[in-house]
Structure formats: C-alpha cells, structure tokens
C-alpha cells in the first residue's frame, strides 16, 4: 500500500504538511500534472498561463523532483489532466491514501471532484490547508462568514489571538529499497505549446523557480544583504531586485511556506535587528492571508463584475483600449512603462500594479475582470486570491474602505521622481 502526494500549489519538501503526513507511511510517491487546460486560452481571450510563469513552474518541478529524489521519493510528472491521469496512476500503484493541499476555488474543486469520482471509494483523500500564515483552525472567527470586510480589523484581531505554527521538521529519507521506476520527464515550454523565452536584462526578477532558489533568496535578502532591515522604506520601489523581497512567485506556487518566512523574520529580529521594516514584511504576509480569507468567505463572487460589494458601474469593453493598455501605448507614460515591464518580464512592482489597475478600471472604466485575466496570464507570481482580491480592491468593488482612484501623474512624480523607471521601459518601441 502506497501513500501518494498530489502536488498542486505546495511545490516544496520543507514544511509541507501533506508530504509530512504521507511520510508516516512506508512507501511514498509524488505526482504532478501540468494540466493542459491551464495553458489554453481562458474566458477573456488570454492564455491562462503565459511563458514567464510556465518556465518558472518547469524550473520549480525540476527542483522538486531532485529534492524528493534525495528522500527516495519519486515524483511522477505528466502533461495531462489530473482527472485522467491520477485515477489511472492510483489503480496502477496500489495507492491507499492521497495527500493534497486544500484549495477552494471553483476550478480546483472541480478537478479534485473529478479525480475523486473516478477512483474506488476505498482510496482516502486527505486535504490540508497549507498556504496560510494563520491556519484557518487558529483564527479568532467561528466561521469564514465572520471575516471582516476591512483588513485592519482582521489583522489586529489575528495578531492578538493567533500564533503562527512552527515550521515542520524536514521528512527523513525513505529506505532506498523497492524504489519504483520513474521514467517520466519534466516538459519543456514547447511541450506545453509555448515558445522559448529570452531574458530581458532590465528585469527586476532575475531569479529562477524552485524551493532551493526560494531559500537562496531568503538567504540573500535577509542575511547577506540585510535588506529586510530597510524593507518598509524601499518597498514602493520600481527598479532592480532589491526594493522588496520578491518572494511572491515562490510563495504563489508553494515553493516556500509563509510560515518559513515568518519564522525567518523572527530569527532576524532576534539576532540582527527588529524594527518597523522587519514587522512590515509580516504585515504584508497578513495581507496575503486576508485575500485568501476573503475568497473563502465570498467564493465565486470574487470573479463577478459586481465583486464582493455588489456594486454596479457602467463598465466598458473596448478592444482598442485593451490593446493600448497591454502594449503600453496609452497617454500616460508611467502606466505605459509598467505595462511594458510586465509584457517583457512577467513582473510588476506593487506600486505599478496598483496604478495600472486603477487606471484600467477607474480612469478608462474598462471591465476590471479583463485586466485581472491579463495579469493572471502574465504574472510570474499569479495567485488566484491575491490577484482577483487586489483587482477588486483597486476597481471599487472590493475591500477598500476609501475607494481610492490613483492619480498616476502624481504617483510618478512621487515614486519615480527622476524618471529612471520610465526611461528604462520607454526607451524602445516594443510592439
Ligand atoms: C492589481 C494587483 C494584482 C496583484 N496580483 C498578485 C498576484 O497575483 N500574486 C501575488 O502574490 N500578489 C499579487 N499582488 C500583490 C503584490 O503586488 C505582490 O504580492 C508584490 O508586489 C510581490 O512582490 P514582493 O514579493 O517583492 O512583495 P513584498 O513587498 O516583499 O511583500 C512580501 C510578500 O507579502 C505578500 N504581499 C505583499 N503585498 C501584497 C498584497 N497587496 N496583496 C497580497 N499579498 C501581498 C506577497 O506574498 C509578497 O511576496 C497584486 C497587487 C495588485 C495591486
């Protein structure tokens, strides 16, 4: 009888609840499916996953496979729908229990249900929430319906009543006897129907995917350069790798846990420095949790045009305006610079994201979901809850109590006073 870990957005060996639970059994196998659905055109006309995140994911799976191999756990990798591949795999490999991270958005639920429906009822599925800083069982709310609409309320209550769980001990290697042969290979971009990608030297995210690379980034940002000690002062930056932690792409696919980062901050505070800046990184991780709880509370409402506020606006949809926004050819140079950055690198700063989202939805009055779907396609760090939650927030249909519209000219003057960022991205015609 084998235990199977079905990896989804928990692509790590360290501090992985499903893997730790599976390792209590004798023989452990891992499976990962590159689901072709995620590389096709979605509802708004964009590929659900473009090359930037696809390549990052490939790099991530290569490292996961290597790291699991060191524990004598084979990772079987397929380009196939989970609902087709996993039931077959379970049948062929005498699987007793499947361990997986609990997701709750519609597409992920449908995929899981389709897998469960196709396997014998004697196979157990054990799901664990593993993407949070504050575990859902530990928060001071009896049900998700009680999650407040305003972030500050949520943060203060959780900070008072909830402790972040410790990081799990790393699993011990399994015996190397009876290893099951694994001839599966990690696909290339081409295997996923995508063309190759050349690197843009201007990128603020020059890193590769994978758990080991995530740990290296923590090592560098926290310990070697000690940039964490200045985080709050630099986090609104626009140019280069140092202005913020850049941990989001690894967090989004679970190459590193939020708990690991939290405890690393605590260690830094204990041994190097504790200040507003070190606290602020945790503050931002709480934002990340908040959007997950908003999505748990509101379900599919986060994808609807009225958002969670049920607000009606006169949304427009213009193909021409969409093309101008995407290609960075609007009348606003600061918006254009940011849009060119994401088109060329899959990355955009938080300051940039707020501005282009507000410009798209509040100034151009275009259907905010088109912008969110474009981000979903392009972003290296796409995370369903953070993306759709932040888009709602910036589009006047979400959690912003102030319902702000960004003045991009003033924002450019404040955050790009010498025009360095704009010069970097506007110096050439890209399209
Ligand atoms: C329109 C829009 C769309 C966004 N889409 C995504 C997305 O798909 N995935 C994503 O991870 N973030 C998203 N964000 C949030 C934020 O922009 C990024 O998390 C951040 O820029 C990542 O850079 P960093 O890792 O250097 O962040 P840091 O400033 O170093 O922050 C540390 C971590 O805190 C979390 N965090 C920071 N700000 C936010 C925030 N506003 N909301 C949620 N979590 C936050 C991230 O996990 C981040 O890695 C979006 C923001 C906007 C305005």
**Quick one: 148 and 160 in the same domain?**
yes
* Closest approach atom of ligand 1 to CA 243: 26
Average pLDDT, the chain: 96
Whether residue 186 lies inside any domain: the answer is no
Res 69: pLDDT: 96
Identify the three-state secondary structure at position 4: strand
| CA of residue 386 to ligand 1 center, whole Å | 7
* pLDDT number for residue 427: 86
Residues 71 and 144 in one domain: no
- Cα within 13 Å of Cα(47), Cβ side: 15
Inter-residue contact 378 to 342 (CB < 8 Å): yes
346, 404: one domain: yes
Is residue 267 pLDDT above 70, yes or no? yes
246 is in an annotated binding site: yes
Same-domain status, 242 and 354: no
CA atoms within 13 A on the CB side of 93: 25
* Alpha carbon of 409 to ligand 1 centroid (Å): 22
Give per-residue pLDDT as tens, 402-423. 888 999 999 999 999 999 999 9
**Banded model confidence at residue 265, pLDDT cuts 50, 70, 90:** very high
Collapsing DSSP to helix, strand or coil, 97 comes out as: strand
Three-point CA angle 216, 292, 367, nearest 5°:
105
The predicted structure's pLDDT at residue 249: 99
Ligand 1 pocket at CB < 6 A: 235, 244-248, 251-252, 281, 284-285, 287-288, 291, 349-350, 353-354, 357, 375, 379, 381-383, 386-387, 390-391, 394
The token pair at 309 is 């506020």
In order of 76, 339, 348, 406, the CA distances from 351 in angstroms are 39, 12, 8, 10
Residue whose Cα lies nearest atom 31 of ligand 1: it is: 284
What pLDDT is stored for residue 153 in this prediction?
Answer: 97
Residues 95 and 141 in one domain: no
Label residue 163 exposed, middle or buried (CB < 10 Å: 0-12, 13-18, 19+): exposed
Q: Which CATH number is 7's domain given?
A: 3.40.50.620
Q: Is residue 331 located within the same domain as residue 244? A: no
The domain containing residue 126 runs over which residues? Answer: 1-130
- Do 228 and 364 fall within a single domain? no
Q: How many structural domains compose the chain?
A: 3
Residues 102 and 145 in one domain: no
Q: Tens digits of per-residue pLDDT, 17-72?
A: 999 999 998 799 999 999 999 999 999 999 999 999 999 999 999 999 999 999 99
Ligand 1, atom 18, lies closest to the CA of: 350
Residue 339 contacts residue 326 (beta carbons within 8 Å): yes
CA of 364 to the centre of ligand 1 (A): 23
Q: Judge whether residue 429 has pLDDT over 70.
A: no
Asked if residue 358 and residue 339 are part of one domain, the reply reads: yes
Residue-wise pLDDT for 151-174, tens only, equals 999 999 999 999 999 999 989 999
pLDDT at 400: 80
* pLDDT for the residue 273: 98
Domain contains 175: no
pLDDT tens digit sequence for 326-375: 999 999 999 999 999 999 999 999 999 999 999 999 999 999 999 999 99
pLDDT of residue 195: 95
Residue 171 forms part of a structural domain = no
Residue 190 lies in a domain: no
Domain shared by 159 and 77, yes or no? no
Q: What is the pLDDT of residue 49?
A: 98
Q: Are residues 84 and 5 in the same domain?
A: yes
Distance from residue 62's CA to the centre of ligand 1 (Å): 25
**Predicted pLDDT of residue 431:** 44
Mean pLDDT of the region 306-310: 95
């Amino acid at each position: 009888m084998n235990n199977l870990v079905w990896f989804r957005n928990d692509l790590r060996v360290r501090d992985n609840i499903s893997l730790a639970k599976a390792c209590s059994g004798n023989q452990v196998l891992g499976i990962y499916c590159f689901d072709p659905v995620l590389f096709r055109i979605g509802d708004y006309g964009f590929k659900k996953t473009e090359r930037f995140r696809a390549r990052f994911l490939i790099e991530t799976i290569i490292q996961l496979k290597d790291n699991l191999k060191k524990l004598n756990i084979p990772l079987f990798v397929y380009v196939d729908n989970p609902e087709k591949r996993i039931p077959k795999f379970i049948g062929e490999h005498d699987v007793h229990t499947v361990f997986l991270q609990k997701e709750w958005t519609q597409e992920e639920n449908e995929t899981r249900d389709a897998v469960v429906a196709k396997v014998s009822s004697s196979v157990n599925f054990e799901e664990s929430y593993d993407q949070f800083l504050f575990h859902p069982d530990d928060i001071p709310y009896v049900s998700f319906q009680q999650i407040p609409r305003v972030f500050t309320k949520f943060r203060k209550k959780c900070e008072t009543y909830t402790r972040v769980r410790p990081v799990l001990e790393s699993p011990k290697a399994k015996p190397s006897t009876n290893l099951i042969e694994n001839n599966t290979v990690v696909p290339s971009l081409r295997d996923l129907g995508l063309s190759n990608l050349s690197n843009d030297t201007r990128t603020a995210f020059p890193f590769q995917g994978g758990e080991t690379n995530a740990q290296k980034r923590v090592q560098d940002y926290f310990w070697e350069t000690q940039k964490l000690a200045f985080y709050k002062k630099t986090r609104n930056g626009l140019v280069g790798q140092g202005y913020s932690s850049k941990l989001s792409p690894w967090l989004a696919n679970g190459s590193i846990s939020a708990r690991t980062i939290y405890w690393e901050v605590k260690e830094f505070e204990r041994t190097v420095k504790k200040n507003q800046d070190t606290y602020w990184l945790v503050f931002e991780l709480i934002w990340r949790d908040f959007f997950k709880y908003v999505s748990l509370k509101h379900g599919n409402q986060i994808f609807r045009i009225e958002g969670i506020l049920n607000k009606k606006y006169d949304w427009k949809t213009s193909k021409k305006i969409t093309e101008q926004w995407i290609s960075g050819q609007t009348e606003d140079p600061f918006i254009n610079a940011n849009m060119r950055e994401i088109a060329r690198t899959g990355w955009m700063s938080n300051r940039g994201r707020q501005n282009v989202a507000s410009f798209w939805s509040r100034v151009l009055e275009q259907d905010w979901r088109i912008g969110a779907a474009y981000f979903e396609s392009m972003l290296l760090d796409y995370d369903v809850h953070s993306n759709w939650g932040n888009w709602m927030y910036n589009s006047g249909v979400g959690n912003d109590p102030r319902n702000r519209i960004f003045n991009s000219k003033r924002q450019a003057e404040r955050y790009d006073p010498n025009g360095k960022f704009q010069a970097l991205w506007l110096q050439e015609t890209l399209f």
